[in-house]
């Protein structure tokens, strides 16, 4: 990658009890790129995301965002520095409406500006009709879209998407891809985990393959397709 790296993960280790989830994983995410992480279930992908977002502290190694070490930084602060995220399992606030789900995370905006921004995002993702629905009322696919809208409310520079395509029908998947690519042209860096190989191989500039907590392959889609170890671990 020619550009500088906005997010750097250096030799991160994490184990839960005796089980090693991450065993010295290192990744570099270039500014303005779409970077994907793939790997079998239990390979440490979500742990990696939780460490990057500050929800879990790493046992060793460090995460640099814009060149600054994120150690001892709370998830809220990391988020406010420009790192938005969605969750693998929907974590919308179910007793709030969609509009409120968005407005609640608008930091440093007046109420009117926050509402304005929320309405624009709902419009951008073509879910304006959901505005006054309760979080609990939404279908699975709608939740995924609202989660993306909510992460965008934060006006992030880097967005972590945890399995945005899992369990979504192909047509909606294509729509999400379109939106993500539109966001990238606006300068957003996207870093995501997914199992949907069709999309991952199609849209990612850069790919990492995790297996048993280690990066076993790194490169563009063609390189990953050709890699023997990836075939063995994943395909």
Partner 1 sequence: MKSALLIAVVLLAAASIPLYAGSYPVSFLVQTFIFIGLAYSWNLIGGYAGYTHFGQVTFFGLGAYVGAISIGNGVPWLWATLLAALFAAVCAALLGGIMLRLKGPFFAIGMFGIARVCESLALGLDNITQGGTGLYLTAVDLERVYYAAGAVVLILLIATWRLDSSRLGLQLLSIREDETAAAALGVRTTRLKIGTFIASAFMPGALGSLYACYLGYIDPTTAFAPMTELTVIAMVLLGGMGTVLGPLVGALALSVVNEVLWARLPEIYLALVGVIILIAVLFMPRGIVNFAQRRAWSWVPTPRGHLRRLAERRGKVNPPPKRFARPAQGGNAGGPAEPDPRRP
Residues binding partner 1 (CB under 8 A): 53-55, 74-76, 79-80, 84-85, 87, 91, 93-96, 99-100, 103-107, 111-112, 114-116, 118-119, 122-123, 125-132, 135, 139-142, 145, 150-151, 154, 167-169, 171-172, 174-175
Q: How far is the CB of 29 from partner 1 (least distance, A)?
A: 18
Q: How far is the CB of 226 from partner 1 (least distance, A)?
A: 32
CA dist 217 and 207 (Å) reads 8
Query: Which residue's CB is nearer to partner 1, number 81 or number 218?
Result: 81
Check residue 144 and give left, alpha or beta (phi > 0: left; psi -120 to 50: alpha): alpha
Query: Which residue's CB is nearer to partner 1, number 30 or number 125?
Result: 125
Task: Supply angle C-alpha 213, 216, 219, rounded to 5.
Answer: 125
Q: How far is the CB of 177 from partner 1 (least distance, A)?
A: 11
Query: Which residue's CB is nearer to partner 1, number 148 or number 200?
Result: 148
Listed in sequence order, the residues at least 6 apart from 54 whose beta carbon sits closer than 8 Å to its beta carbon are 70, 73, 74, 75, 77, 78
In three-state secondary structure terms, 174 is: helix
Query: Which residue's CB is nearer to partner 1, number 87 or number 234?
Result: 87
CA dist 23 and 167 (Å) reads 29
Q: How far is the CB of 63 from partner 1 (least distance, A)?
A: 14
Any idea what DSSP says for residue 97?
B
Q: How far is the CB of 84 from partner 1 (least distance, A)?
A: 8
CA dist 88 and 69 (Å) reads 25
Query: Which residue's CB is nearer to partner 1, number 44 or number 54?
Result: 54
């Amino acid at each position: 990658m020619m550009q500088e790296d906005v997010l750097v993960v250096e030799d991160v280790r994490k184990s839960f009890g005796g089980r090693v989830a991450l065993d010295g994983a290192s990744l570099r995410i270039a500014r303005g790129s779409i970077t994907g992480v793939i790997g079998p279930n239990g390979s440490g992908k979500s742990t990696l995301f939780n460490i990057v977002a500050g929800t879990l502290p790493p046992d060793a190694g460090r995460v640099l965002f814009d060149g600054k070490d994120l150690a001892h930084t709370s998830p809220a602060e990391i988020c406010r520095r420009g790192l938005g995220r969605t969750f693998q399992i929907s974590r919308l606030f179910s007793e709030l409406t969609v509009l409120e789900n968005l407005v609640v995370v608008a930091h440093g905006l007046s109420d009117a500006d926050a509402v304005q921004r929320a309405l624009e995002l709902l419009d951008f993702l073509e879910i304006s009709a959901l505005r006054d629905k309760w979080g609990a009322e939404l279908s699975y696919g709608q939740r995924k879209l609202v989660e993306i809208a909510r992460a965008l409310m934060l006006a992030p520079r880097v967005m972590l998407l945890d399995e945005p395509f899992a369990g979504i029908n192909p047509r909606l998947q294509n729509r999400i891809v379109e939106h993500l690519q539109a966001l990238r042209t606006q300068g957003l860096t996207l870093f995501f985990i997914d199992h949907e190989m069709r999309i991952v191989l199609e849209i990612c500039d850069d790919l990492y393959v995790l297996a048993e907590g280690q990066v076993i392959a790194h490169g563009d889609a063609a390189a990953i397709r050709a890699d023997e170890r990836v075939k063995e671990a994943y395909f």
